Amino acid sequence: MSVLNLLNTKVVVGVGFLYVLAHLVGRRRGRRSLPYPPGPKGESNCYTGYPLIGNVLDMPQSKEWETFTKWREIYGDFVFLNVLGTHLLIINSLECANALLDKKGSIYADRPRFVVGGELIGWDRLLGMSRYGDRVRSQRKMIHPVVGTKSAVETQWSGIIERETRKLLNDLVTQPEDFLQLIRTAVGATILSVAYGYRVEDPQDPLIAIAEQGMSDFMMVTMPGNFLADLIPICKVQCVLDFVTILSAVFLDHAVKHFTRHTRTVAVLRKHLDDFLNIPFTFVKKQMATGTYDLSFSSQKLAEDSTPADEEDIKWGGLALFGGGADTTVSVLQSFILAMTLYPDVQKKAQAELDSVVGYDRLPNLGDRDDLPYLGALMNEVLRWSPVVPTNLPHVLTEEDEHDGFFIPQGTVVLVNAWGILHNPEIYHDPMEFKPERFLNDDGRTPEMDPHNVGFGFGRRRCPGIEFADASIMVACAMILSVFDVSKVVENGVVVEPLVEFVGGISHPMPFRCSIKPRSQHALELITALN
């Protein structure tokens, strides 16, 4: 038998062995006699799913939030599955999410282990992905006074937000067809300035490229299911970690080639993360050494007599600001453009309000927010219509628990179906319709539930930068609508319908076409006067 065939045989045997162990791990019930929560059982009628693989065949391949929503009609507010030995709890109601993740936050605040993306590459040190403990509490405490309050955002960062949004307006005049990338660049430039005091003067800026590469890597290596080592519980035992890591990249006759490619890939991804973590931080330190630097999160914290240990936390704090704010804000603004393309009547109402409050001779700013209720309702509807993270970030239960008469094992991965809650007809009238009016109290009606209660997470892992995100989104939406009309593309007299499709762990609309033009000659002059 050749060495290659021997390796292939060992791989197949190893996979089978790991599946058996995973199944045994998944069957352990502890001491409780309560039943598991309801969920798909599989034709074998075993405790949850098929032998060895559990509910793998029940899991959707795409748009999982839609499948989870359908399961609510069958199984109720929470659904329990076993995926290759990993217990998974899908929460489909706000009441259940609050009862578990908020009221029992001390045992539901952990994150899953990401063996490859986390421990091998290093993303497990990022705030949003870190296991819950002193490190998370310390970083949240560091970030909160900088971007976690309305007053901090308005007094320290409104100027940066408005400056970078004005640059976006200029770019949209000359390159409207590139609006998706222009939004990404503008948001990235805003957060680089807030986190590091770094000013982006060119869309091709190398630091923007480093940041975008870092976020692309992050989404790839933390996407559930991309690596075998992240799926099977026994794979997370340290003694078999190296074997499983190889196994993630090995496939039969191409074993040696894939192993080589895998090790190279890990090294490259580590280098990308190292650049993303250290290059902007080094920039801040060099600027501070000269005595000339812009105010930023990093410069504020470095000025506080920081120790080497503090500096490491500051590095990851800056990265957390970018990681938590960049792609999420991009998601909302891209979805906003899509909504304006699809719903011109909504756009006209928002523009009429802006014209009435702001007028035609200046751009709106953050100080106008309280006088623009329809615009605020429009922003809320975008958040509800296309939630940034449709299933929220996963939580992990650190102790066994019981809820509503059911047993939930320690180590269960918990997902909140945010999309399902935000499209629940028991909470939102006509949930599939885009209706900002649902959030207004006009004519004495009671506004429907604020989507911020769902879309920004729960409990001790709720997003610490909500105020900064809201300010960035408000300024961008207000400025764009005040000077541009967004509409469907017309070619040769034929209207081109935009694609309405959302993809990704952080949801983004699939690339679509739209027309973005200045509302008037006066609007164009107002934009160009910004140069």
CATH, residue 463 = 1.10.630.10
Q: How many Cβ atoms are within 10 Å of 251's Cβ, its own excluded?
A: 12
Task: Return the pLDDT at 228.
Answer: 65
Residue labelled with tokens 């038998």: 1
Query: Which residues are bridge partners to 402 per DSSP?
Result: 407
Evaluate if residue 352 carries a pLDDT over 80: yes
Q: How far apart are CA 110 and CA 396, in angstroms?
A: 5
pLDDT digits (tens, 9 = 90+) for 152-168: 999 999 999 999 999 99
Per-residue confidence (pLDDT) for residue 183, from 0 to 100 = 96
Domain count, the chain: 1
* Contact (Cβ atoms closer than 8 angstroms) between residue 110 and residue 397: yes
For residue 252, name the pLDDT band (cuts at 50, 70, 90). very low
| pLDDT, average across residues 42-55 | 60
Q: What is the pLDDT at residue 26?
A: 44
- Say what angle helices 179-196 and 158-174 make with each other, to 10 degrees: 160
> Could you give the CA distance from residue 390 to residue 448 in angstroms, rounded to a whole number?
19
pLDDT at 67 exceeding the cut of 60: yes
Structural domain boundaries enclosing 239: 3-528
Distant-in-sequence, close-in-space partners of 526: CB < 8 Å, separation ≥ 6: 360, 361, 362, 363, 483
Average pLDDT over residues 344-372: 97
